[in-house]
Structure 1
Amino acid sequence: MNPLLADLLQVLRLERLELDLFRGESRDPGHHRVFGGQVLGQALAAAYATIENRGVHSLHAYFLRAGDPDHPIVYEVDRSRDGASFTSRRVVAIQHGEQIFHMSASFQVQEEGVDRQGVMPDVPGPESLPDMAVAVEEMKKKAPDRPRPFIAHDRPFEFRPALLPDPTAEVPREPSMRIWFRAVDRVPDDEVLHRCLLAYASDYYLLGTAVMDARLAVGPKNLQMASIDHAMWFHRPARADEWLLYVLDSPTSSSSRGFARGSIFSRDGTLVASTAQEGLVRRRKPEPAA
């Protein structure tokens, strides 16, 4: 297996300390704080460890403090309710004696009902599109004086953008992006694992879309950015190692907060999940002259 993906699967394997208490490893994605998707995926794995025969259908989380990538995170699960059809869990992530994150998640038994959805946008297939790193370099060539809105890193997921902003055009007032993604290697057939991986990957590019206009205007170094919350709804099963299309847009930004929402479709056009996130987008004050 690809070593980056193998390491991610290791990160999602939590150590059980007590009945409802777990510990997870941390990783540094390159900016000296824990990636929000890691905490989401681990918290969901902790909640799943207290549940049988029910699938997550929604989660709502808040990022309270930056996570320290050099130390593990402890997850405490509160068994809020076990109903006939729905189960509710609350998970608190603790590091250095302080809460850094909390999440509420709801799980449901499998039921039949009305099945409808919106239509997936018409975009080129992933095979015809370049990797994100190549796309970012092409943007830089077209507009060398404009800051790049995204930075490409080695990750356990591969990304191929179907829609990025035109670097030569005016800064978009309502930023949007469409990007194909999948795990870089095959993942075991475990629906719980695939949903935890999907939660992990859902944190990519949500805040990036919300701050795209600011990054294109002033550059990422002049911005203070941090995720505030994250919501996700799981509509239908999906595999994280098969191509998924993430359709993102940011309809509003105000009071130093940017808001973005996303829809995740499988290759055949099935809507498998929806997301929403608000994040801090604050322009840094210039340092006083010496």
Structure 2
Amino acid sequence: PEPEVDFSDRSMEWIADDGFAIAMGGPYAYGSVNIDVRVRLTGSEWADGQVRGMRIYDLYTGEEVMRGKAGSCRLQPGEYTLHYGAAVRREDGTFECRYGTADFEVTLPGFELTMPILSHPEDIDLSRTIVVRCSFETDDAAWRNFSCSVQLVNLRTGEEITHQSYTPNERWAFRLTERGTYRAVATVSNGSETLVIRKDFVLPELTNPKDIYHTLNWRAIDFDKVIQYYIDFYSDEACTEKLSLQHSAACHYIVWRRHHDAEGNPTKNDKVMEDTVMLPAGVTTYNLPYTFEAKDYLTLHGYRYDYEIVGIEYR
């Protein structure tokens, strides 16, 4: 018979041992997760007949959420560290647990927290409000109706950022004070069950502001007859620390004519002009010198004009 081992006994010593290495797949859907089935034993010291135990820690908070004999458990959506081990009898008849470590994730299918602006680093500007979005698309009838609230925490300072506005269950707008790592904490409820879901977001530091800190846009003018391109420059603290406003900038650009076939697929590009223009000091918006007739821009003739900003050198 298997020996009686109480893995929940706080006096039992747990010892990390490379011979008991493990791996975990995943992510796993929210609900009961059978750890004993999911874990894969990769070390050299595993043997049949061993009595096995597990400890599980929340990767975000470091809190221990489960300790005991290996088997199934129900976990909130999140990321976890698993200690999975085997009981080893000592000479005095007591047991220690030799274990391996692996990380795994539990997800709530259909639920996603995103900060869409992070997919476009050139659009990140601390003078603008940044939005965290919640989406929930699921076939699970229990979660078709839900409520959600989101908090955002600056992980460097521990400060909770107060939202500027929100759309229930969809969008929360925040004004961030600095670049760095933020944690969104979403509390989601369907009336009978409440879950807490966390996700970290990193606002990258400005390492090369001449490439990152501008964006190219266009507008229709003169009753939509003419298309004009312009550059927007950002000026939050992170930018102005690096780019003193008493300096001007040289903007090197190329104007292209993009040709397309009848299906709209690109066929070739003609370089129309290439030049450098000096931007005034402290400018936040600058109209580029070459404009286009809207009928050409809208590809009625099978081609379109546009700008490429090759580089901006601050002097």
- Is the TM-score greater than 0.5? no
Higher relative contact order (CA 8 A, sep 6+): 1
Which one has the bigger strand percentage?
Answer: 2
TM-score, reference length from structure 2 = 0.24
TM-score, reference length from structure 1 = 0.26
Greater gyration radius = 2
